[in-house]
Structure 1
Amino acid sequence: MAETIIFDTDPGIDDAMALLLAHAHPAIHLKAITTVYGNGTIEDCTRNACYLNQKFGMGAEVVRGAAGPLRRPPNGPTVVVHGEHAMGDVVAPADTPIEIDERPAYQYLCDAVNAQPGEITLVAVGPLTNLALALQHDPSIADKVKQVVVMGGAFGTRGHHGNVAPFAEANIHDDPDAADQVFTARWSVTIVGLDATHEAFFSGAYLDALKADGGEAGDFIHAVSRYYLAFYSDKLGLDGCHVHDPSAVAYVIDPTLFTTRPGPVRVVCDGPAIGMTLQKADGKRYADDEFSDFRDQDVCINVDEARLLTLYRDAILSLA
């Protein structure tokens, strides 16, 4: 039976790649797309979500979410990575119909989860502000969500510490307060961070093959990735890109692709290490311990790259 997901996103180049996987794979029922600031402004991210939903006939409800973090000024769009309007050289037309649910995203999340208790998985691949606001609005949803899967964080395995700061990944760094609330809530969270996503790579040749064989979706993925790959080439010297947001969707489809480690997770919310994610995985209780009163969450620390790339390619080719 397909997993019903609400996809919380700031589209975003790799967000668009992930949305196409969620749309294409038979194991996923894409119920809704809730938008959040991050890779672009909330206006651009919402327009991009509407554009993708309409262009590919995804049939999801689109809901506008938070325009900024819970308590701090926004860091601003990541133009250097995702471009002026967040999808690189692909720009959603200014007259794209903005067909959205009238509720704010946090209200929509609460209403949807209460209407289908135990059935909805939240997949969040941007700042976690919408999820934190939903928890504040109705804490009981933590007992009704099936699971939460987050693309974010970095826990230091094999040297994967951060990508926008020495010890912080971008989504967590954008709203560390929200992330700490989400990770310490009663619900089950799986965190697919840089420890796993930096171990998988969409090479230039892989994306060229998707363009050749993948029809309209393959063409789009190739086009939207050009700006992204230019960043990876110029800044990192790589021909291709890491598999960030699609990995969160892939986890929902097939958790056996990933190696996970249990333990409570906290986020540094102030100071020079702001946005740093920390997991206490030793099972011990300490005299000074602000971890152990919170439930274990699962952190992905590795991935089967070959199987992940095959899963993604097969799903995109199925659309053709």
Structure 2
Amino acid sequence: MTLHKVIYDTDPGVDDAMAFVLETLHPEIELIGVTSVFGNATIDTTTRNACYLAGRFAPAVPVARGAGAPLEGEAPTPLAAIHGDDGLGNIGPSEDGTVSPDARAASRFIIDSVRAHPSEVTIVAVGPLTNLALALAEDPSIVPLVKQVIVMGGAFGIGGVNGNVTPAAEANMFGDPHAADLVFGAAWPLTIVGLDVTHRVVMSTSYLASIRDRGGVAGRFVWDVSRHYEAFHRDTENIEGIYVHDASAVAYLLAPQLFTVRKGPVRVLTEGIAAGQTIQKPEGMPCAAPAWDARPSCNVCVGVDADGVLALYERALCGAQ
């Protein structure tokens, strides 16, 4: 059995919390740390939520507080309509049993963990990529020591999918486009799981109810934390269920065969009305593009076996019933 050592870089966030549950329950994942970042809520809230989630589902896992603002400019205002005032669907997370944050900043925690486990650590990053960019700036020599980076973010226009905070940009890329462009330009194995595939994976109301009824404490938590989130999807997307964003990135780690990828360097626009837009030059494209050509190739997910992703999540929470 493959065992993946994972650092989960996250801005919890309802879908972040649902992915966290998958990471803590799946037997092939060894969660070695959680790093918080601004995004779905302020850094105070996302750090509190990360400490709450760790305390409830993985109390031995350290949590390190990360960046509270992007490399340049101010953090976008969190949208309570999506994730609730508390970032966790207004479930009112208790302070009881939460873990205390590690003394190190998230970027330092990433560096130390990668150096302690060379060629073993996968970073699953599902928020703005500021912590990874800060780690790169502090110690660029970690790049060849990272096993792989899996990013939930971006939108590449596959099947007509656009951004979700502007017509051009997905939220994590919009949150810190400068950081994203730096991270995508580093020569570590990197896969981007964007809206192009996450919008094809939908947990319906009946699916979530089944998880609730068969998944024990974790299943009940997934149902509770997703109520506000599902209402948002119903009101704005007219779907009875929720898109599976962050858990799809974890699914790629566990079962990459469920995804189709396109290879090629990726740039992120950092200025103007399209800031945060992700653009890939696919391998084999004949035209010269100097802004792309000198950069390493990334995997961009362009297809997904949605039923396979949902089955993977269900098995982790409910077993083989």
* Short-chain TM bin: over 0.9
State the shift of 1:89 in Å.
2.1
1:170 is aligned with what amino acid? Answer: A
The aligned runs of 1:134-213 (5 Å cut-off) are 134-213=135-214
Match of 2:133 in 1: 132
State the shift of 1:78 in Å.
2.3
Cα offsets for 1:128-168 (capped at 9, x unmatched): 00000000000011111000000000000001111110011
| CA RMSD, 1 decimal | 1.5
Using structure 1 for the length normalisation, give the TM-score: 0.97
1:24 is aligned with what amino acid? Answer: L
Alpha-carbon separation, structure 1, partners of 2:97 and 2:273: 41
Q: Contact 2:39/2:175 (CA < 8 Å) preserved in 1?
A: yes
State the shift of 1:79 in Å.
1.2
Alpha-carbon separation, structure 1, partners of 2:277 and 2:58: 38
> Sequence identity of aligned pairs in percent?
48
Q: Show structure 2 runs of 5+ residues with no match.
A: none
Q: Contact 2:54/2:98 (CA < 8 Å) preserved in 1?
A: no
Q: Does 1:275 find its partner at 2:276?
A: yes
Which deviates more, 109-118 or 126-135? 109-118
Cα offsets for 1:80-107 (capped at 9, x unmatched): 2001110012122256645111010001
State the shift of 1:299 in Å.
0.2
1:17 is aligned with what amino acid? Answer: M
Look up the SS of the partner of 2:21 in the other structure: helix
State the shift of 1:282 in Å.
4.2
Q: Show structure 1 runs of 5+ residues with no match.
A: none
Alpha-carbon separation, structure 1, partners of 2:283 and 2:256: 23
Alpha-carbon separation, structure 2, partners of 1:75 and 1:319: 41
Give the length in aligned residue pairs. Answer: 320
Match of 1:77 in 2: 78
Q: Contact 2:212/2:220 (CA < 8 Å) preserved in 1?
A: yes
Match of 2:251 in 1: 250
1:315–1:238 Cα change, 3 Å: same
Q: Contact 1:122/1:149 (CA < 8 Å) preserved in 2?
A: yes
Cα offsets for 1:157-184 (capped at 9, x unmatched): 0011111100110011000000000001
After TM superposition, which residue ranges in structure 1, 4 or more long, deviate above 6 angstroms?
none
Cα offsets for 1:208-227 (capped at 9, x unmatched): 11111111111000000000
Q: Contact 2:229/2:242 (CA < 8 Å) preserved in 1?
A: yes
State the shift of 1:286 in Å.
4.5
Q: Contact 2:203/2:241 (CA < 8 Å) preserved in 1?
A: yes
Using structure 2 for the length normalisation, give the TM-score: 0.97
Look up the SS of the partner of 2:292 in the other structure: coil
Q: Contact 1:23/1:58 (CA < 8 Å) preserved in 2?
A: no
Match of 1:29 in 2: 30
Which deviates more, 125-134 or 85-94? 85-94
Alpha-carbon separation, structure 2, partners of 1:271 and 1:246: 31
Look up the SS of the partner of 1:228 in the other structure: helix
Alpha-carbon separation, structure 1, partners of 2:218 and 2:6: 21
Q: Contact 1:24/1:319 (CA < 8 Å) preserved in 2?
A: no
Match of 1:9 in 2: 10
Match of 1:293 in 2: 294
1:206–1:97 Cα change, 3 Å: closer
Q: Contact 1:38/1:78 (CA < 8 Å) preserved in 2?
A: no
Look up the SS of the partner of 1:134 in the other structure: helix
Look up the SS of the partner of 2:226 in the other structure: helix
Look up the SS of the partner of 1:166 in the other structure: coil
Alpha-carbon separation, structure 1, partners of 2:66 and 2:160: 33
1:43 is aligned with what amino acid? Answer: D
Alpha-carbon separation, structure 2, partners of 1:121 and 1:70: 23
